[in-house]
Amino acid sequence: MSRRSRPLVIGHRGAPGYRPEHSRSSYDLALAMGVDAVEPDVVVTRDGALVVRHENEISGTTDVADRPEFADRRTRKRVDGEELEGWFTEDFAAAELQSLRCRERIPGIRSTSATFDDTQPVLLLRDVLDLVRRGSLEAGREIGVVLEIKHPTYFAALGWDVARLVADELHAAGWGAGQLPLTIESFESTVLADLRARAVSATYIYLLEASGSPFDLVAAQGKAAPTYAQTAAPSGLDALVGTVDGISVDKRMILAPDRLGRATGPSPIVADAHVRGLRVFTWTARCENAFLIPQFRTRGGKAAFGDWEGEWALLAASGIDGVFVDHADLGVRFFGADADDGEDRRLG
């Protein structure tokens, strides 16, 4: 495994510290601020398109609740074992979703971003792939895509082969054969294996939560399914060698806060993975008090910026290979390298 001297800086859903997540302006801003890659999440529509949303339930990130023509599509569903109520992408055609407008998911914390509500349409995956390709050409540097596949087992139960949908779209857009820097990630390892079997050329990253178990393995193995914590242990990492290129972990798994919320890390997870030739990404480096571990929170309430530099310094010291950031400019300044300093900035 070749190691970067500095972590890859990934615009998490664009630049959602400043614009509604997954909106066109969020991605445009992240590219302009100099990120190495952006991260779109994809879910499936009724007609089998891949739409860019963090979740398939969209009441909190679009204006769908204010659209009377879609009022009768409000419903309750069980997604990955969780009961949810709202509007779901799989009940809409792609064209209908594109008629919706993006909204800030946490307006109480990001009120400035919320001023851009209802101004930009929901994007499809192809929109983001094309946007990044154009952005790379305009910037004169390679910019990557870190594609997160959401709920593939859930969508499989609805009849969709998500790996096939993703592979077809990537190849059609010129992103599936190694032409451009691509990383594919998921909390479900089975979809990553399916995509590898379909010869999609990418870096494959297994997402790990700080608690719980992956839904695909729970669906297949029930209570015998390994937990994410077991996968992050040395024996679990041994089993990942040769199946994925790395892991992406909740930052708490690196910071290892104690009962008082003070970091005791860096934990050994990064070093353990590196010894086995696995890369390590972490999510999500944010600035607001609401998202910092207690040690780094300051006065001013949830929306105020805390001592984010103190928290981020511990993440950087752990030796991570990539970091997801919401405030793209601060992430580039803190973790990144100047695009002209000669460092290899390719994903993969």
What b/e string do you get for 227-251 counting C-beta neighbours within 10 Å, with b at 16 or more? bbeebbeeebbeebeeebbbbbbbb
**Confidence check: pLDDT of 111 > 70:** yes
Q: Encode pLDDT of 166-211 as tens digits.
A: 999 999 999 999 999 999 999 999 999 999 999 999 999 999 999 9
Q: What is the predicted pLDDT for the residue at 307?
A: 98
Counting residues of the chain whose pLDDT is more than 70, the rounded percentage is 95
Asked if 5 and 11 count as a contact pair (C-beta separation under 8 A), the reply is no
Query: Does 18 have pLDDT greater than 70?
Result: yes
**Residue 234 clears pLDDT 90, i.e. is over it:** yes
Residue 347 above 50 pLDDT? no
* pLDDT score of 3: 60
Confirm if 89 and 54 have CB atoms less than 8 A apart.
no
- Per-residue model confidence as pLDDT tens digits over 280-330: 999 999 999 999 999 999 999 999 999 999 999 999 999 999 999 999 999
Beta bridge partners of 182: 145
Task: For residue 325, give the nearest of 340, 343, 309 by alpha carbon.
Answer: 309
- What's the pLDDT tens digit per position in 98-110? 999 999 999 999 9
How far apart are alpha carbons 94 and 44 in whole angstroms? 9
- pLDDT above 90 coverage of the chain, percent: 95
Distance CA 54, CA 295 (A): 28
Q: Which of 226, 10, 9, 36 is closest to 135 using CA atoms?
A: 36
185 burial class (0-12, 13-18, 19+ CB within 10 angstroms)? buried
Token pair listed for 228: 């994410």
3-state secondary structure the chain: CCCCCCCEEEEECCCCCCCCCCCHHHHHHHHHCCCCEEECEEEECCCCCEEECCCCECCCCECHHHCHHHHHHCEEEEECCEEEEECEHHHCCHHHHHCCEECCCCCCCCHHHHCCCCCCECCEHHHHHHHHHHHHHHHCCCCEEEEEECCHHHHHHCCCCHHHHHHHHHHHCCCCECCCCEEEEECCHHHHHHHHHCCCECEEEEEECCCCCCHHHHHHHHHHCCCHHHHHCHHHHHHHECCECEEEEECHHHHCECCCCCECCCCCHHHHHHHCCCEEEEEEECCEHHHCCHHHCCCCCCCCECCHHHHHHHHHHCCCCEEEECCHHHHHHHHCCCCCCCCCCCCC
Separation CA 330–CA 199 (nearest Å):
36
Q: Is the dihedral angle over the CA atoms 12, 270, 34, 165 positive or is it negative?
A: negative
Is residue 342 over pLDDT 80?
Answer: no
Confidence of residue 340 (pLDDT cuts 50, 70, 90): very low
80, pLDDT greater than 50: yes
So what's the pLDDT on residue 289?
Answer: 98
pLDDT at 5: 77
Evaluate whether 273 touches 254 at the Cβ level (below 8 Å): no
Residue with tokens 């193995």: 221
Q: At residue 160, does pLDDT exceed 70?
A: yes
Q: Which amino acid is at 60?
A: G
What does the pLDDT look like over 29-68, one tens digit per residue? 999 999 999 999 999 999 999 999 999 999 999 999 999 9
Span 258-278, mean pLDDT?
Answer: 97
Per-residue buried b or exposed e for 253-272, using 16+ beta carbons within 10 Å of the residue's own CB = bbbbbeeeeebebbbebbeb
Residue 143 has a pLDDT of: 98
**In residues, how long is the chain?**
348
Name residue 265's amino acid.
Answer: G
209, 125, 216, 236: which is closest to 174 by C-alpha? 125
Reply yes or no on whether the pLDDT at 337 is more than 60: no
